[in-house]
Structure 1
Amino acid sequence: MQGSTTVRGEHRSLFLLLALIAALGPMTMQIMMPALPAIQQEFQVSVAQAQLAFSVFVFTMGPALLLYGPLSDRYGRRPVLSLAIGIFCLGTLMCLLAPSLGWLVAGRAIQALGSAAGLVITRALLADLFGREGMATALSWMTMAMVIPPMLAPSLGGLLVDHVSWRGIFLVLLLAGVVVLAFTLRYLPDPPPTAAQRDSSWIEKYRTVLGRRGFYPYALQGVLIIGMFYGFMAGAPYLMVNVMGRPATEYGLFFLLPAGGYLLGNYLSARFAGRLGINRMVLIGAALALVFTVPLVVVTGAGWWVPLAFFLPMTLITVANGIAVPSTQSGAISAVPEASGTASSMIGFLQQAVGAIIIQVVGLLQNDTPWPMVGVVLASAVLSAIGALLLQRQPAGRPAPSEAR
């Protein structure tokens, strides 16, 4: 289905629904972060072992994302999404009742397997409904709403850890999964697959995506931008709780700053992407992120290890990320309109795979200083800025004539 390219006021309820669905995975990932030190203590394991409860979610979500694009292209968006949310609820119940770290990690893997569908299918629906011209703006508006649950999740997670237990997190997630499933079954649009989407095989779909030169520059740029956030997210909880001696609740409250920054960045993207074009938005975002990384390095080197010294620069970095990310995703998906769900899957896989590697690297390099975290953020920012400069040679999200079918 190829619908209107104009984003209008009547689409607000649709954006809210898609945001609720898409937020399930990021919320599930973020709400766990304040609980990791408590999980480490309860199960008497190392930091790197406790980190598995987080990184296995990201590792599993990567391959899972590859499943849902072709499945939803072939069988429709709503049936596939409903099944996936049911799988998520099963994994959440396992985590809630886990008697050991091994059971918890297994439950987290099943959670990731189910929640991955929301990230893929919501983007594919936007491509179905708004097409190439309207998708960057539509994705920005949806992301603004989607950011709110993950933004509040660390604060909620910290409160639950300090006043209930880390298991209370999974009771909340189970209730959220049931609500999302109910709304999906009742209200989610389900445009019928096109003949091209329905008839081609998985191999043909991925061959189409991977053979489209216009896909790679945007997809890889999106990976580099997201790498900054993953690097910070992997190190900040341990830095605050274990090094600074702050409670998990305080980490959750400080996390509102970068989450709010990402929200602001998406608002700016929604306002200006249509005027400036996606290539310029990516360049602006990457350049600002590199500039804002400088104070993060300075405070680390100077030994000013207090929460605001890290969270304020990271907030500015996430503003820059929010400016750029919708345009990278729009550019990559619009390069392969006949396999939009599969392209969305591949984007998600690349981001999650690189994110999982970054999370484990930061965990393994933990040395009671911010340097592993800050080093990863800086490296991602430098590579992203270089990639954004190279991207300016790319036509703005359109496949070259020789590549179009």
Structure 2
Amino acid sequence: IIARDIYGQDKIVRAIAYLTMGYSLGPIFTPPIGGFLVETSGWRSVLILALAAGIFIVVLVYFLIDETQPENNLNNNQNNCHRSLFSDYYLLFRDIKFTSLTFQIGLSTGAFFALATGAAFIMIEHLGRPASEYGLYFTLLPCGYLLGNFVSGRLGSQISIETMVLISTGIMVVAICSFAVFTLWGNISPLVLFGFGSVLTFGQGMNTPFAQSGLLRVPSNLIGTAGGIGAFAQMFGAAVFSQLYGFAADGTPSNLAIIVGAATFLAFVFATINFCKRPFKLPQPT
């Protein structure tokens, strides 16, 4: 929402892409840092570091980030404060493109997190590899996501949101189908798991900035609700599919391919709906 206020709808894809590149750096650098802290100072030191980092971020936000919403939008929101939350939901979900993007970003995020959850089981239980080797291979997943963010940032508004969401989800489908083929052949190795996994996260990294910016193509008085729905969809999808794999996990890659594949194919269905349908014209604030 802050990115849209500052950069506008035309540049929001590029802004979100570069912002999420920073988000993807965490899974690359924090595992070795956490491992070092656990070995030298015990597991509580990880929590202390997280607390200190959180306090530092709150202080930075308080002193450096001002209100970014234009004054006229603030006045409009105050004039429309009598609207109920459920009426905002009703207005937003009447738009088939908003609804399809909400499900698409939730399902694609679910596929990403189910893969990240299952990769540890496959490496350690099925392949019998040490945790240290898993940590090295795991960096391929956030690196793929980082590269996808970079590509989205370079493309910016040159390609429509609908087209890019469909293409990026298609890349995810190709990745999980390729992994499923190798699973059926019984030819599973760390390179197969994380190689195709990095292709899937590359597609997810391309998808996220475009899908998020698409969810914010709403009147200014609905941006906060739309942003909250998008964030909830991502976290809910991640939790549901990670938990599904937890229930189904048996140490083999078959269930991982099925669950990630189901989430990815459903995401592609909603991406197709978003590509084909015309938006419902939402009422503008008065």
Q: TM range, normalised to the smaller chain?
A: 0.7 to 0.9
User: Kindly tell me: are residues 249 and 218 of structure 1, through their superposed partners in 2, closer, same or farther at Cα, counting changes over 3 Å?
Assistant: same
User: Kindly tell me: are residues 126 and 156 of structure 1, through their superposed partners in 2, closer, same or farther at Cα, counting changes over 3 Å?
Assistant: same
1:125 matches 2:5: no
Q: Name the structure 2 match of 1:116.
A: none
Write the distance in 2 (CA, Å) between the matches of 1:233 and 1:137.
26
1:299 matches 2:182: yes
2:140 touches 2:195 (CA, 8 Å); kept in 1?
yes
Deviation per residue, 1:154-210 (Å, 9 max, x gap): 343344455554433212212211221221122123236612334544862452244
Q: Which of 226, 245, 248 is 2:109 aligned to?
A: 226
1:151 touches 1:259 (CA, 8 Å); kept in 2?
yes
Q: How is 1:302-317 mapped onto 2 (pairs within 5 angstroms)?
A: 302-317=185-200
Write the distance in 2 (CA, Å) between the matches of 1:218 and 1:202.
27
1:240 matches 2:117: no
Task: Indicate the SS of the match to 2:276.
Answer: coil
Q: Name the structure 2 match of 1:380.
A: 263
Task: Indicate the SS of the match to 1:227.
Answer: helix
Deviation per residue, 1:346-373 (Å, 9 max, x gap): 1111221222121111111121212222
Q: Name the structure 2 match of 1:366.
A: 249
Q: How is 1:82-121 mapped onto 2 (pairs within 5 angstroms)?
A: none
Q: Which of 76, 79, 83 is 1:196 aligned to?
A: 76
Q: Name the structure 2 match of 1:357.
A: 240
Q: Name the structure 1 match of 2:31.
A: 154
Mean Cα deviation higher: 195-204 or 335-344: 195-204
Q: Name the structure 2 match of 1:169.
A: 46
User: Kindly tell me: are residues 249 and 196 of structure 1, through their superposed partners in 2, closer, same or farther at Cα, counting changes over 3 Å?
Assistant: farther
Aligned length: 279
1:205 touches 1:339 (CA, 8 Å); kept in 2?
no
1:289 touches 1:381 (CA, 8 Å); kept in 2?
yes
1:222 touches 1:351 (CA, 8 Å); kept in 2?
yes
User: Kindly tell me: are residues 285 and 221 of structure 1, through their superposed partners in 2, closer, same or farther at Cα, counting changes over 3 Å?
Assistant: same
User: Kindly tell me: are residues 158 and 232 of structure 1, through their superposed partners in 2, closer, same or farther at Cα, counting changes over 3 Å?
Assistant: farther
User: Kindly tell me: are residues 189 and 378 of structure 1, through their superposed partners in 2, closer, same or farther at Cα, counting changes over 3 Å?
Assistant: same
1:138 matches 2:15: yes
After TM superposition, give the deviation of residue 230 of structure 1 in Å.
Answer: 1.5
Write the distance in 1 (CA, Å) between the matches of 2:235 and 2:90.
18
2:110 touches 2:240 (CA, 8 Å); kept in 1?
no
Write the distance in 2 (CA, Å) between the matches of 1:372 and 1:403.
45
Q: Where do 5+ consecutive residues of structure 2 fail to align?
A: none
After TM superposition, give the deviation of residue 330 of structure 1 in Å.
Answer: 0.7
User: Kindly tell me: are residues 245 and 173 of structure 1, through their superposed partners in 2, closer, same or farther at Cα, counting changes over 3 Å?
Assistant: farther
TM-score with structure 1 setting the length = 0.63
Aligned residues: CA RMSD: 2.3
After TM superposition, give the deviation of residue 281 of structure 1 in Å.
Answer: 0.7
1:281 matches 2:161: no
TM-score with structure 2 setting the length = 0.88
Q: Name the structure 1 match of 2:135.
A: 252
Q: Name the structure 1 match of 2:217.
A: 334
Q: How is 1:24-35 mapped onto 2 (pairs within 5 angstroms)?
A: none
User: Kindly tell me: are residues 210 and 140 of structure 1, through their superposed partners in 2, closer, same or farther at Cα, counting changes over 3 Å?
Assistant: farther
After TM superposition, give the deviation of residue 394 of structure 1 in Å.
Answer: 3.7
For 1:175, the aligned partner's letter is A
Q: Work out the percentage of aligned pairs sharing the same amino acid.
A: 27
Write the distance in 2 (CA, Å) between the matches of 1:235 and 1:325.
21
Task: Indicate the SS of the match to 2:112.
Answer: helix
Q: Name the structure 2 match of 1:182.
A: 59
Write the distance in 1 (CA, Å) between the matches of 2:80 and 2:167.
38
